[in-house]
Amino acid sequence: MADRAYLERLSRELTDKGKLIEAGWVGLRLSAIPLDASAVQLNEMRMAFFAGAQHLFGSIMGILDPGAEPTDKDLERMDLIDKELRNFINEFEVRATPAKGTA
């Protein structure tokens, strides 16, 4: 697993350069993808990662109510997205965390 402080620093640096999604991809690559993954696998995974990010952002932009200020419904929608993604990351952490000891 990559050092969390390093990943956070790298994420900030990339974000400051307009590369927030790339920062997320780099974090995933360093923390969860085997070092010996093939170039084809890495390319396909990066494409899937960016496609997911584009879907989320495009969807958010499409579901927001018109106007400059967020509505109560906008906030409710964002809370539901947050909940869905928190559930996902909890499942991901369970799968990605190696078991300790023997059964």
Encode pLDDT of 1-16 as tens digits: 457 788 788 888 999 9
Task: For residues 11 and 4, give the distance between their C-alpha atoms in angstroms, rounded to a whole number.
Answer: 10
Identify the sign of the CA torsion 94, 95, 98, 103.
positive
Pick from 27, 29, 33: nearest CA to 9: 27
Q: Which two tokens stand for residue 94?
A: 């369970």
Q: Which residue has the higher pLDDT, 70 or 95?
A: 70
Question: pTM score, two decimals?
Answer: 0.75
